[in-house]
Amino acid sequence: MEGTKCSLTHKGGTKEYFITLMANAQGKAIVIRRWGAKGAIGQVKVSKFDTVAAAERDYEKEIDRRQSGSKGYQITDQKIVNVDAPEKLSLIIGRTVFPKIGGSNVKHIDPNYDTGGMREPESNRDDDDNYVGDFQRRVKVDPDAVAAAEKAEREKELDVLRSNPKFGRF
């Protein structure tokens, strides 16, 4: 198995981005992306590919995108790695990241690898690739509008009670 690893650092020095391409002799490949604050494990995303050429295009496209002016990352290290033994796969990918990529992704590039005990990563995307996490947007709230809405709701509830002919008799 062969791969390419690339490390990028944000120009501010507080963020890092790592991308790894691993391919097997049968032409199956995965691209592992890891990003976050410097020194933290951060987030991990894995993409599977049935051809090495498609994986290489995705790998190069992501590196180019990260180095574009708006993203502001610079390559700090890039190297080619060879995995000559299955137990070295976790060392190449990284011991902290390897459990997060999921057993099915490891089986994609090495069908004989023992993935017993590996959990599958939880997806925060639905079938249409829309984010479905518990992210809530902050909304500016006008206190006067909130008070007026609450007052209107109370008045509406009182109107319902007043419409009852027996209201207030007991």
Mean pLDDT in the chain? 84
According to the model, what pLDDT value does residue 132 have? 60
Question: What tens digit of pLDDT does each residue of 65-104 get?
Answer: 888 877 788 888 888 888 888 778 888 888 888 888 888 8
End-to-end Cα spacing for the chain: 83
Burial class (CB in 10 A: 0-12, 13-18, 19+), 122: exposed
Residue 145 has pLDDT above 70, yes or no: yes
pLDDT in tens, 25-61: 899 999 999 988 888 888 888 999 999 999 999 999 9
Q: What is the pLDDT of residue 92?
A: 84
Burial tier of 18 (Cβ tally within 10 Å: 0-12, 13-18, 19+): buried
What pLDDT, on the 0 to 100 scale, is given for residue 41?
80
User: Amino acid letter at 97?
Assistant: V
Q: What is the pLDDT of residues 6-21, one digit of tens each?
A: 999 988 888 999 999 9
Show the domains of the chain with their CATH numbers: 2-109 (2.20.140.10)
The C-alpha angle 59, 118, 95, rounded to 5 degrees, equals 60
pLDDT for 57 equals 94
